[in-house]
Structures are given as C-alpha cells and as structure tokens.
Structure 1
Amino acid sequence: MGDLLLLLHSPGVWVFQRTPRKSVPSGHCRPNCFPHRHRRSLFCCVSRRSFLLHGLRPYLKSRFLVDLLGCFPWDAIYKACGRKEPVRYLLWIRLSRALRVTEFFEKLEKDIRLNYLFTRIVKLLVVEVYCTHTAACIFYYLATTLPPWEEGYTWIGSLKMGDYSYAHFRGIDLWTRYITSLYFAIVTMATVGYGEIHAVNTKEMIFVMIYVSFDMILGAYLLGNMAALIVKGSKTEKFRDKMADIIKYMNRNRLGKRISKEIKDHVRLQYESRYNESSVLQDIPASIRAKISQKLYEPYIRGVPLFRGCSHEFIKQIAIKVHEEFFLPGEVIMEQGSMADQLYFVCHGKVEEVRKPEENETEESLLDLHTYNSVGEISVLCNIPVPYTVQVYELSRLLRIDKQALVEILGIYFSDGRVIINNLLEGRESSLRSKILDSDITLNIAKHESELTMRLNCAAHDGDLYRLSRIIGAGADPSRTDYDGRSPLVSISSFCKVCGERYIFAWTYYIFAWTFL
C-alpha cells in the first residue's frame, strides 16, 4: 500500500510544487531509501543461497536501476536545484512503482482466504482513482503553464460555479484546487454529459482529446472486467476454485500439514507456470507441436549421458515425447523402494539422490544431479525398485517421458537401445550390472537383434539385394551370427557358389559398405 500512496503522491508533487511557497505547501517524500527486494513468483520458496543465485542476478539486470531511481527524493532534489523544470520531470520515474501495486493485487487475487469479487472490485476502483487522479494533476498543470495575468484563458481561471469564481485561482487553498480538478477529471471520464471540463486554450484542447480517447479504452477495460466477474471464467478464479476443492479434500481426509503444504505449493506452481504447459499448444497441429518440442528440448536430450552415441532420429523421437514439469524445493520426485514408470531429465535446477538405510536413521546424500542428468533410469530400464529417494534441492525444471513411450521408441530403434544399455553399464557395480543385463528391455533388444540377424541371413542366402539393404538400414549387424553360428558372409558364399564367383566381390563389398556406413 505504501507503493500505491507514493504513486498517488508523485503526480501531485510534480504539479502543485510549481506554485510559490507562500500559496502552496510543499509535499513530502516518503522516506524510502532502498528499493524493495525482488520477488519472483516461481522463486517464492527457495533458500537464501538460491535467491542470491536465481533471483538477485536477474533483478540487478532488469529492474534494479529503475527501482533505485524511483526511491530518490526527487521533490527535495527539485527544491535544492532551484526548482528547475527539467529536474521536476524526473518525478515521473516513480510511476515504475505501479508494477509493485500490480504484483500486490495479483497476490491478493490468488489468496483464497479473500473474496475474489471484493478483491477485483477494489483493484478496478484503484485503477479508476489513480487514472483520474493523474488526469486531475495534469489538468491543473496545464493551467499553471500560463502566467498569472493570463489566468482567464485557462479552464479553471474561467470557471464559475454559481456565485463562486475561480479567477486568480493560485490564491485559492490547495485542497479546493485539487478537489475541483479531480471532480472535472472524474465527470469527464464518466462522460455523463454534464459538468465536463471545457478547454479554453490549445494545450487544453489537445489533452482533452487524448484524455477522452483514453477514457474509452479505460471504460471498456472496466466493463470487460465486470462482465468477466459475472461470467466467472477467468483462469485465476478457476485456480481459486480448484484450490478450495483441494483444501476441502485434505480437511475431509485429515492429511498432515506437510503433505497439505506440498500439494498446495505444487498446484500454485503449476498455475504460475501455466504458459509452459503443453495445453497452450493443444490446438496446434501435431506436426508443428513436434517441431516446437524438438526446438525446445532436443539440445537437453542430446546432452544426456544416457543417450550418448544414439542416432539423431532416436533423439528427435525422445524430444517429441517429453513433457515439461516444475518442482519446488523439498518435493520428492521418486520414493525409495517404489517402482518408477517415468524417466526424468534435469533441465535447470538441482536434484539430489538421498538414501535412508533404516526408518530411524538420518538421510544420507548420495549424489547431486544437475543439468543433463537423468533420474530413475535404473528403475525404468531394469524393472527394479528405486534404490534411493530423489528429491528437489532448489526450484527445478525437468523433462518427463513415460516408460511406455520409451519402450515403444526402443522397439523401433532397438539398435540405440543397445547403446543405452552400454551407457548404463558404465561405472556400475557387478550386482547392478547383472540386473541390467537380465532386465526385460535388454532381453527384448536381444530378441530383436536375433530376429534381424535371421532375416539378414535369409536375405543373403536368397540373394535379395533390396531386402538385404532394408534390413541393414534397420540396424542389423552383418558380422553377427544367428543361433546356428551362421553369418551373412557365409550365406553370401553359398549363394555365390551357385551363381558364380563373379558375385563374391560385389556382395562382400556391398555388405562391408553398409557396415561401415
């Protein structure tokens, strides 16, 4: 509210301090020497260290200088400089505080403890009062631009209400002048057809034209917001209704305070990051959505160590299937001992692996995961329980892919599945290596490789050039033997004995060319 009062105070100081000291008392600046601390909606629950890293640095690059200038006592500087006109215009820097007032009302609208209709009406009233207050100050400023002997050529100098005349208005008390200006500003904005301001000189005519045009936009804004309150279709109100239903559910089932807070924080985070959700693109064709996903997520997927060495087509398919999610500090992504059916990749933030040996023992931090690290790959690929708890250390953005979608992609690009298994085996313990090698996905990959080897041998035995090229292009290894110990080269030799030795060099060159390409 201090920002709001300062905003209302600034135009008045800018205008009414123009008059002499004897006739007009000077305004006073609120003693505020430091800019407000930066608050970002997505970093509302981070630690002090995370705030310094993620909140202070962007703030210093964006709004810090404007906030710092807005805190200067420009009215005192204006007096100290001998009331020079250019210095007085610097008072308009305080209008930047309007952003703080907007953030304040947005916070009130999301507070389910307050009535939404009441909050919106108060916000609309503040917008109307501030606009008319600023217009009243400008109306009076235009009148003061003329010298005292030409006061009759201004709207207030020529004003006469009943038997009361505003001639020599500079000698009238400040409160009466302000109320008069505010009255005509409000009546002109309402356009009731009576009591509107009458411009006398050219400057006043120009400003009245601009002001009336602005009033049409402001009136449409106010009426549109009132209609939206009646319809009850705004996203903020839907969020409030959803949050109220969640609170009723938690109270009815008597959930603990900790889990209740986690649920409310997560729902609030999903609302604040709604512009990053896939629902924004749901009306866009699937082909365009695929291109957008590749543009946004493919660089992160390509940098994941688990997918190192995989084909470009496989990376593109993974990038299309992932979904973006945000997690607050302290949220648990995977619980120790549970079966994971989703694989996560860290885009931004920090995630840590924690192991809790027994129920009463303290948690043991195992590993910190940063950008490009994967979460839950062992449980998803090996069908074993998660060996540790994965929780968020600071606000993080993760990419998620369902296990079913991953299995379907590996069914098509099974040669990349062998690369993934080899990457997963690097640096693992012997017990875990045996579980990885005995997993369903590994067996499924081996089954596909055996089938392709059999088909490759059949194509080589029959001399089918087209089928041979298609199978090798699908990822078959010409040097691999089937269940009977035969390789495609043996089948080619048998075929060449029948068809002639001139085919031996051609077939051998063809096989090895496909192998190395």
Structure 2
Amino acid sequence: MGEEIREEFELNEVEDTLHGSVGSRLSLFSKGFGFGKSKWESENNALKVPKGCHSGIVIHPNGRKYRMWVNTLFLWSIYSTFFAPLEFGFFRGLPEQLQQLECAQLIFLVDVILQFFVAYRDAHTYRMVYDRKCITLRYLKGSFALDILGCFPWDVIYKMTGRMEIVRYFMWIRLYRARKIVKFFQKMEKDIRINYLFTRIVKLITVELYCTHTAACIFYYLATTIPPAQEGYTWIGSLSLGDYKYINFREIDFMRRYITSLYFSIVTMATVGYGDIHAVNMREMVFIMIYISFDMILSAYLIGNMTALIVKGSQTERFRDKMTDLIKYMNRNQLGKEIRAQIKSHLRLQYESSYAKNSMLEDIPIAVRSKVSQTLYMDVVQKVPLFKGCTEEFLNQLVRYNLQVKFWSSFLFFFFLIYRLLKVRSMQVIKLNEEFFVPGEVILEQGHVVDQIYIVCHGFLEEVFIAKMGLEEQITELVPYNVFGDVAVLCNIPQPYTVRVSEVCQLLRIDKQSLNSILQLYFKDSRQILSNLLKGKETDLRIKQLESDITYLIAKQERELILAVNNAAYHGDLHHLKGLINAGADPNKTDYDGRTALHVAACKGYEEIVKFLIQRGASVNCITLEIRHCWKL
C-alpha cells in the first residue's frame, strides 16, 4: 500500500484554483475574469492580487510561502504555549539570561499583521473570500483581541508597575496560541502519508504532557505564594525524599524544582497515591480536588480516543481509508493527474462540507422532513427567475420530500401480482439535492443528454460554447439564483452549452423525472415556466432559435389539457375535472372539433358537471343549436 500511494501528495484545503481539463484550465487562465491573466498567479506564490481587492495585497492561505510561515509559527507556538505556564509559576520576572526570549513576541506580532491580509474560506458557502474589508472585519471580531494581548511584553510591564501580581495573570492569554498546535495535528491526521494511529497517539501524549506540565507549574506557584518564613506549610517546603530535605526550596536549582513538581503532578493525575508528596495547606487541597476532577474528564477523553482508534469510528479515519482506497484504484487504472486532482478535491470537499448528509433525516417523519426542506430551500427557489409567477403550491411541492413506491416487475405476467405484494420497496426521495463543486469541474457538457436542472445557490459558473475547432466562447456567467440545464430538460434537446465551475459553488439539483411529475399536476405553472424560459433567453441568439420549439411545447400542453378536460367531462368524472380546473385549465378552450367541456357535458346530460362549469366561468353563449338539441334529448 505504501508503494501505491508514494506518488500522492497530502490533500490540503480545497483550493479555489483551477482543476479540470487542459482546455478548461487554459481557457480560464486566458480570460482571467477580465484581467488577461488568471485570477490567481502560480499557487506557489503566497501574495496574490485577486479581483475585487482594489489593488490590495491578499495572501492565499494555500500559498507555499505562507505555509512555510505557518509551519515556522507552529514551532514558536509550542515554545510559547509551554513556556507561559513555566514563566508564570517559576519566574517572578525573567532573569537577564532569559530576557531575549521575549523577542519571540515580535514573531506573533508579525502574524497578527499578516492575518489582516490572509483570505479565508466562508463556512457556509465554502468559497474563498478575498475582500480586504471582509477579512479585516472577520479577524477583528474573532481572535484579534486575544492575539494582540498575547503579544504584550507582560514581564516588562510587570517590572514597570512595581511587580503587581495581577499583571502576571495576563500571561495565560498566550495559551490561546495552542489552537495553532491543534490545527497542525488536524492537518497531520488528514495526511494519508502519515500513519493515523501514530499521529493520534502523539497527539494524546502531547495533551497529557501539557496538562501535567501546566499543573506542575501551578503546584509550584502555590508554594511560592507562601512567605519564606512559613514555607514549611507548603507541599515542597515540607518535602523530604530520603536524606534530602527541600529547605529554602527557592534556592534549589531550577531543574530539581521542576522535576519534583512534574513528579507530583503526574503521580496525582495517575492517582497512584504513594503519599510521599501531598498537600499541606488549604489552597493546595482545593487545587488538588479540582485537578483530580479535571483528570476524570481527561482520562475519559484519552480512553475514548483510544477506543475510537481501535474500532475506527472517527469521521477523519473513515475519510483516510476512503481516500487510500481511491488512490489505489486510480493507480491501478493509471488515471491521469488532472482527473486525480478533480476526484480528490471533490472527495475532500464532501468531507469538509459534509453536505451529503440527507441520510441523517431518514429516521424523522416525512412531514417533518418536508418542513426542513422547505425551510432550507424555499427562499432560494422563490428567487429563481424560471419559477417567477408560479403558485405557492407548486413551489412547495418542488422543495418538499416525496414518498415514492417502486415495484419490481417480472417478464411473466403470472408473477406480476406476487412481485407487487412481496417486492414492494419504498424509499424517501428529496426532489432538491444539494451539491458542491470545486473550480474547473464541468457539470454539463455541450451536446449531451441532460436529466437534471441546477439552481445556483452560491458561487459562480460560466456557460461556454465550444466550436468545431475546439475554440471556446463564453456565453454568460451564472450567478446565484440562475438556472442551467433548463433548456435541455424542458425542450427535450441536447445540452446547448458546456457549464463549468469558476469558483467553489453550491447547487440545488432537480431531477427531470421529479420535475415532470410535478408539472403534470400543475398545468398553469408549467405554462408559466415555459413562458419564463422564453423570456429569459430572448437575449441569446442561439437559444432564440428555439423559440418555435418552446412555443410548440406551450401549444402542445394546451391541447393536451383541453383534451383532458373534455375527456373528464365526457366520462362524467367530476372529481378529475375539478382537479384540472383548479390546476389552471380554462373551461372555455375548445378542442380540435370546436367543442368545449360544456358542450360535451351538456350532450352527455351530466347536470352536475354543467353546473360546475358554469360556476367556474364557462360561457353558455357558445352552445350551438346542435348542442341544444342534444341537451333536449
């Protein structure tokens, strides 16, 4: 397995760069969204000047130089996170030989400045945000205050303020930098080249060592708060190990004091209970009680993580296993680098966004799931131009869950009823499916048969016309609330354009079968959608050529609806007739023979249907002499 994934690189954040076919990448690079160059320069460069930044410098988080800076900052974060408790507990003012360590705060100050220029990925849309104003506001509302306070030289301030003890407590703010260590371990866990078990064990050992290290520093700090004359009333001042007594412990060398404190902390955490070191005063007893209570939670965390490693229950490990199997499959079939990048990027996007979570609602009743679906998607669907003017009932049907029943069929009619009774399979289907796509992916290809309509929720796409010589011509840019695939699905023609992703986008997919089943119930909305389709494509010369096809579809639906109404009137099916009229059918429309539903009902002698049609606005003046004669009969 190691040989098969040797060539693969670590799968970092899903980059908002271009992964696709050679033609797609060259086309996007050449256009560059209006700049003549690509939106981003080479991904090896950390400093970028993207569109919409108003000539400001923006740092891409996946740039090579910025990643080198992050790795350097990680090492300094380890130092700062471990040294802050040590400085608080063992030093009341750093000695001269350690004064230079305070210069490390300048590194974190530089990082604070850089954070105002680092682009970030929006947590909702999963798109990269390059706007300097948004970046600045996000950082100011986030960790800016704690980051800048952590850069203050608290040791110098402590000495300048007359050694006020309260000032030293601000050193604990620097522990906030531990989040950089956490992010590093999260990144290592996702790296399929590194053994996951090894990474997790190192992480758990680090957590345990850091907790015991911090507790050791606090133990010693509690002892130093007692005046030297009463140091015998502290755990270390009263300590005697063999013939060695810790009298005047402040004068003992640093390493002996630290190792003794660390020994006390580890023994207490492990609840061994040797009794050689124990609490003496009330404050030490209170802290040990709190410490042991915290140790119960920490032990549960460590045991739970080790159990998860054995049973492989974490989402990250399942992602790693899936990625490893996928890489083995791609290597075995010798897939190209471009398709590899697309597959891995899409899988990573699935893992990070967790958008394929419709199965989470399987145990919830369908009525509740319908409300959830309406809450999530109704606002988006209402703003789609294609559905402008449609009824509320139609839109509700479009976004709600549906219960479909599928029957297994047999070649022999004799077994048909048995299969209907024994092989019935029900499954809950959601008409709107949420999907994410990374830049460069081609969603619909020109000339292919399309079975889906897509609604753009977030992100940007482009429609491209590909000529015979392979030349590409950009037709339009798709923005939120635009629709594509509608012409091919509604007109039953091949896809006229290629649709390609420009930025990470979130789409809602509607299957053709589900849409047609709804349109058959809502005739008025079906005509409205075709009218909106015709209006929306008026500016497109190529689509305008389909005007006759769309007009034909509208006329065909009208004829089918008239025939359905007259057929219901002919058979006396009042219930079906009411459904057709309520769906938008016009009772005054005539069929190919010039007959209306009122003609047919009057001729057949269905008095209730006649009354219903008159109540619904059917014109009685259209009854001819032949129909009056038939009515008398």
Q: Residue 510 of structure 2 aligns with which residue?
A: 401
Which has the bigger relative contact order, CA under 8 A and spacing at least 6?
A: 2
Q: CA deviation at 1:436?
A: 3.1
Contact kept, 8 Å, 1:50 with 1:394, in 2: the verdict is no
Q: How does 1:108-257 map to 2 (within 5 A)?
A: 108-194=188-274, 197-257=277-337
Label 1:55 to 1:114 Cα distance change in 2 as closer, same or farther (>3 A): farther
RMSD: 3.2
1:4 aligns with 78
* Conserved? CA contact 2:485–2:495, under 8 Å: yes
Instruction: Report what 1:296 is aligned to.
Output: 376
For residues 150 and 617 of structure 2, what CA distance do their matches in structure 1 show? 73
Partner in structure 2 of residue 449 of structure 1: 561
Matched, 1:423 2:494: no
Range that drifts further, 165-174 or 417-426: 165-174
Matched, 1:510 2:594: no
Q: For residue 480 of structure 1, what is the aligned residue in structure 2?
A: 589
SS of the residue 2:203 aligns to: helix
419, 440, 445: which one aligns with 1:330: 440
- Letter of the 1:218 partner, please give it: L
Cα distance, 1:50–1:443 mapped onto 2, change above 3 Å: farther
Q: Which runs of 5+ in 1 are unaligned?
A: none
Give the Cα–Cα distance (whole angstroms) in 2 for the partners of residues 352 and 329 of structure 1: 11
| Equivalent position amino acid for 2:181 in 1 | V
Q: Which amino acid aligns with 1:406?
A: L
Q: Per the alignment, do residues 135 and 358 of structure 1 end up closer, same or farther by CA in structure 2, a change over 3 Å counting? A: farther
Aligned to 1:388: 497
CA 1:125/1:420 → structure 2, altered by over 3 Å: closer, same or farther? Answer: same
TM-score in terms of structure 1 length = 0.87
Instruction: Quickly say closer, same or farther: Cα 1:468–1:391, change in 2 above 3 A.
Output: closer
Contact 1:157/1:169, CA 8 A, preserved across alignment: yes
CA–CA separation in structure 2 for the residues paired with 1:466 and 1:356: 51
* Structure 1 position 512, deviation (Å): 3.0
Contact 2:119 2:130 in 1 (8 A): no
Following the alignment from structure 1 to structure 2, what is the Cα–Cα distance between the partners of residues 397 and 146? 62
Distance 2:601 2:511 in 1: 43
> Is residue 281 from structure 1 mapped to residue 353 from structure 2 by the alignment?
no
Match of 2:101 among 14, 22, 28: 28
- Matched residue, 1:82: 162
Correspondence for 1:310 among 387, 390, 397 = 390
Which shifted more, 250-259 or 465-474? Answer: 465-474
Shift of 1:377: 1.2
Select 1:435's aligned residue among 525, 549, 557.
549
Q: Structure 1 residues 286 and 457, CA, compared in 2 at 3 Å: closer, same or farther? A: closer
- Whether 1:355 and 2:469 are equivalent positions in the alignment is no
Q: Identify, as 1 or 2, the structure richer in helix.
A: 1
Q: Are residues 486 and 360 of structure 1, via their aligned partners in 2, closer, same or farther at CA, if it must alter by over 3 Å?
A: closer
- CA distance 1:480–1:409, change in 2 (3 Å): same
The alpha-carbon distance between structure 1 residues 390 and 458, as it changes in their structure 2 partners (threshold 3 A), is same
- Paired amino acid for 2:546: L
Question: Residue 387 of structure 1: CA displacement?
Answer: 2.0
Residues 197 and 416 of structure 1, relative CA distance in 2, 3 Å threshold:
farther
Aligned AA (1:477): D
Distance 1:291 1:418 in 2: 27
Identity of aligned residues (%): 52
Uncovered stretches (5+) of structure 2, i.e. residues with no partner: 1-73, 401-430, 620-633
Q: How many residues align?
A: 501
The 1-side partners of 2:136 and 2:385 are apart by 31
1:136-167 superposed Cα distances (whole Å, 9 cap, x missing partner): 11111111111111111111111111111112
- Alignment partners' CA distance in 1, 2:137 and 2:234: 50
Quick one: distance in 2 between partners of 1:435 and 1:279? 40
Query: Per the alignment, do residues 380 and 254 of structure 1 end up closer, same or farther by CA in structure 2, a change over 3 Å counting?
Result: same
